Each structure stands twice: as structure tokens, then as C-alpha cells.
Amino acid sequence: MLSKKILMCAAVLLITATVGTAAVAEPTSETITANVGNIGLNIAPDEMNAKVGNIELNVKHEKMTTDMGNGESKLTPKELLGELIFFDANLSEPKGQACEDCHGKDVGWSGPNEASNVLRGGVYHGANVSRFGNRKPPTIAYSTFAPNFRLDNATTGAFVGGEFWDGRATGKIRGTAAADQATAPFLNPLEMNNPDGDAVVNKVCTSSYADLFKQVWGSNACGDKNKAFDYIAFSIVAFEASKEVTPFTSKYDAYLDGKVKLTRKEMKGLKLFKGKAICDECHIADPGPDGQHPLFTNFIYGDPGTPRNPQNPFYNETEFNPLGAAYIDPGLAGHIQNDPKLLKYQRINYGKFRVPTLRNIDKRPNETFVKRYMHNGFFSSIEDVVHFYNTRDVLPVCGFSGSVVGKNCWPLPEVALNANPKVGNLGLTDEEEEDIVAFLKTLSDGFIPPK
């Protein structure tokens, strides 16, 4: 029964796994590194230090944050091009949805629609508004550091890297996981819903920024549609890796640079994060050997025992979810089942998801704005997440009369098989939980250190 379910779920997941075909080598000049533990990093954003020059950019992407006054930008032309693509709502079918609609800057580049966050577990509809995805949009910030997907240990079946919650953007097609990911949303029928890459290329090549596209990628850039689709991917990756999206400007970064002190409470939280609460085992908090600032993920796969989120609209998605309410998200197991060599690792990876970064988890446009956490958005506050890690195995299972989720009980994990036994009973006091939350709030970008 279990494997049958996995197989059916995979049919759904497969839809989202399509990416472009032609591989083009992306020229790079500088490798940015950050600390992810012992994992090799492979993304090297190109730094072209040219100015945009006098290209007429006739675009009004209201929420774009780059100042293009005088035709100059703090971003390189390629990064700016990526930003224009990222914010372009003409690139969906029908028009109206941009990448930015599910990855908003003032929410730390995660889901910006509060109604979806409150009512639908942070799971979003596509350009076709009656279709819903199955997972919560993670942040795109710091995502380009994800190493390519690979089997890390053939004995334990541990995998590392890749993009998406299940790592299915592997890096096998365009060389980096980020580049493989970048065009998938355009073609996903539950997201931007284009029929194929050519359709996207046609839109970019007739857009108001088509000249910039040719300036960055060559006057012939639109000639070969497969290559052009790759160029679109590389442009988006450049934007994602740029200082606009991935700036390392949190209070914690300033603290690591000796520019600010953490409060007593934040310090206590940091100590617990790395000690008693063992968060740091997966969400790396220490700088690397050469002082690289940490990413708060080691890109491995795990299952903290996240419960099923009944608010997930995917359960009612009749067209793409034949299982309806019986749907179980297989996580990594759903991804690796496409490779016969990896089938034997399915069971051990059933219900596991890639450890997300914790950078910007508290970044929100205002204090009352609701964000969602975990692949299915089960939690709506950081406090609840920490309380869950602390008491998952202490509180009884919900369902008895008078039970209130998170107060006197927790639901069972969606997939109990691989729920990590090391977390769930951390023995933290209420005050220690608060300390950890205080520390997690130092991870939001945009902190300005005192002079």
C-alpha cells in the first residue's frame, strides 16, 4: 500500500520536474563560499562590473527594488536582467503571475500573500487560479548555495543538496541545482503554466527588456530557443545570488563581524541553538574555516516529524491529485524513485525534506503578518516550531476531548516512519524556548549596525 501511494504521488511530482534541455556552460569568475558544514559548494555567480549603460529600460515593475534611475543599477546587467525576469508577470499563462508573487522580498523572499498564508497553509495557487501546488514556497535567498544533488552515503542512504524541498532540481542538466530549478516554475501547470520553454523565450525576447537580454547574452541570444531558455535560467540565478537577494546583512552577520553585540537573551538562544537544542546539527550556525558566514542549513534531508497540514489546498486539487485527502507527501522518496539505481533508498527517505535555511524566517512586512513554516506550512509561528521540536514526544497525540494543537497535544507526524528521534523532547524550559526564538529573530537581513 505504501509503495503504491509513493508511485501515485510521483506522477504528480513528475509534472513539476521538467526543466530545459540544452546544457550551456555558464562562464564564471568568482566563487562565493559560505559555511554549510563539510559539503563542497559549486555555485559561482558571475561578477560583471559593467553598468547598464544607456539601455532604455521601459519597465514598470512596481515592487522592484533596484534603482534604475540614470540607467545605472547597483546590480550587474546580468543580475538586473534576472530581476526583471523574476518580477515579470507577463511570463505566465495566462499573464498575471510572476516569480515574485510566491517569493516576495519583504517576506524574506518567501510567500508574500497573507491570505494564502492564513487560510491555505502558505500554499499558493498558480497563474490558473483554480490550481494549487502541494508545498509552501521556501525562500529563494541563499538558495544558490545548494550543492548539486548527490548520494552522500551509499550505506545509510543519506542524500545531500539539490533545490526544491525534495531536491529534484539536481544540477544534472545545467551544471548547478539553482540553474536547473530556475525555469521549472515557468512550465509547472500548477504555477506559471507555460506550455514549453519556447513560449517563455518568446515572451522574454519580445519584452521591454529584450535589448538588455541581448546585451548580456549576445546579439544572437534569441536565435537558439534552447540556449535562450538556459540564458533565462542563468540570469535568474545571478539575481538570486546577488546582494539584492543574498546580502548577509542580518544582525547575526553583523555580530559575527564584530559590529554589534547580541542581547543577553539572543546570546542564550544562540548557545541553546548550538547546544541543548541541537538545532545546529542541521541548521549550521558557525562560520566556516575561512570565516564564511553560515547558511543555517547543511542541505541534508530529514523529517522533524512534521504533521500533515489539513489546510493544504492540494487535498482538494482534483485535477492533479488523484489521491485527494489521502495524499501523503513522499518528500525525497518521491524524487529518487525516478532512478532505478536509487529505489532501494526510498523507504529510508520517505517523508524527508531538505533542511531549509533559517535565514529570514522572521522577516515580514509588519509584526502581525503571518508566515508559514515547514514544507507544508503546518506551523504559523516560530514559537510553535520551537515548541514542537521541544515537546513533540512529550505532549499526547491530539484527538481527545479538549485537545488544542500545540497547547496540550500534537498531531502525529505525516510520515512517522522516519521522524527524527533525536528531536521531540529537548527538555527546554519556556524561557529557553523564548531565548531560541529571540536568537532566530536576529537572522533577518537588512539590519543596520550602529555607527
Judged by CB under 6 A, the residue of 41, 57, 75, 102 near ligand HEC is 102
Site membership for ligand HEC, residue 68 (CB under 6 A): no
Smallest distance, Å, CB 207 to ligand HEC?
14
How many CB atoms are located within 10 Å of the residue 7 CB? 12
- Give the integer Cα–Cα distance in Å for 157 and 339: 14
Rank residues 403 and 420 by Cβ distance to ligand HEC and give the closer one.
420
Smallest distance, Å, CB 450 to ligand HEC?
27
Rank residues 283 and 293 by Cβ distance to ligand HEC and give the closer one.
283
- Give the integer Cα–Cα distance in Å for 234 and 252: 30
Site membership for ligand HEC, residue 126 (CB under 6 A): yes
- Give the integer Cα–Cα distance in Å for 46 and 144: 12
Judged by CB under 6 A, the residue of 79, 101, 230, 317 near ligand HEC is 101
Instruction: Look at residues 265, 193, 185 and name the one whose alpha carbon lies nearest to residue 233.
Output: 185
| Consecutive H or E run containing 264 | helix 264-274
Smallest distance, Å, CB 291 to ligand HEC?
24
Rank residues 170 and 306 by Cβ distance to ligand HEC and give the closer one.
306
Smallest distance, Å, CB 451 to ligand HEC?
32
Site membership for ligand HEC, residue 420 (CB under 6 A): yes
Instruction: Look at residues 447, 36, 34, 442 and name the one whose alpha carbon lies nearest to residue 268.
Output: 442
Give the per-residue contact string, 265-284, with ligand HEC (x = CB under 6 A; - = no): ------------xxx-xxx-
Site membership for ligand HEC, residue 143 (CB under 6 A): yes
Rank residues 227 and 441 by Cβ distance to ligand HEC and give the closer one.
441
How many CB atoms are located within 10 Å of the residue 165 CB? 23
Judged by CB under 6 A, the residue of 353, 395, 411, 432 near ligand HEC is 353
26-64 residues labelled b (16+ CB within 10 A) or e (exposed): beeeeeebbbbbebebbbbbbeeeeebeebebeeebeeb
Smallest distance, Å, CB 414 to ligand HEC?
8
Range in contact with ligand HEC (rule: CB under 6 A) among 179-187, 214-222, 242-250, 286-294: 179-187
Rank residues 39 and 140 by Cβ distance to ligand HEC and give the closer one.
140
Pairing state of beta strands 301-302 and 158-160?
unpaired
Which runs of consecutive H residues, i.e. helices, occur in 89-224? 114-119, 177-182, 184-187, 197-205, 210-217
Amino acid at residue number 355: V
What's the grid cell of residue 6? 509513493
- Taking the mean position of all CA atoms in its chain, how far away is CA 168? 12
Coil/strand/helix, residue 405: strand
Site membership for ligand HEC, residue 77 (CB under 6 A): no
Coil/strand/helix, residue 152: strand
Rank residues 59 and 72 by Cβ distance to ligand HEC and give the closer one.
59
Q: What are phi and psi of 77, to 5 degrees?
A: -55, -40
Amino acid at residue number 201: V
Judged by CB under 6 A, the residue of 165, 231, 234, 255 near ligand HEC is 165
Rank residues 293 and 352 by Cβ distance to ligand HEC and give the closer one.
352
Site membership for ligand HEC, residue 373 (CB under 6 A): yes
Asked if 152 contacts 36 with a C-beta cutoff of 8 angstroms, the reply is: no
How many CB atoms are located within 10 Å of the residue 408 CB? 13
- By residue count, the chain amounts to 451
Tell me the number of residues near ligand HEC by CB under 6 A.
50
Site membership for ligand HEC, residue 97 (CB under 6 A): yes
Residue carrying the nine cell digits 504528480: 12
Rank residues 35 and 97 by Cβ distance to ligand HEC and give the closer one.
97
Site membership for ligand HEC, residue 236 (CB under 6 A): yes
Site membership for ligand HEC, residue 182 (CB under 6 A): yes
Pairing state of beta strands 301-302 and 150-153?
unpaired
Residue carrying the nine cell digits 537558439: 224
Site membership for ligand HEC, residue 192 (CB under 6 A): yes
Site membership for ligand HEC, residue 375 (CB under 6 A): yes
Range in contact with ligand HEC (rule: CB under 6 A) among 31-39, 51-59, 177-185, 337-345: 177-185
Torsion on CA atoms 65, 85, 375, 343, rounded to nearest 10 = -150
Q: What is the DSSP letter of 31?
A: -
Q: Which of residues 292-321 bind ligand HEC (CB under 6 A)?
A: 302, 304, 306
Site membership for ligand HEC, residue 358 (CB under 6 A): yes
Site membership for ligand HEC, residue 233 (CB under 6 A): no
- Give the integer Cα–Cα distance in Å for 80 and 319: 37
Residues that bind ligand HEC (CB under 6 A): 86, 97, 99, 101-103, 124, 126, 133, 135, 137-138, 140, 143, 146, 163-166, 181-182, 185-186, 191-192, 236, 277-279, 281-283, 302, 304, 306, 353, 355-356, 358, 361, 373-375, 382, 385-386, 389, 420, 423, 436
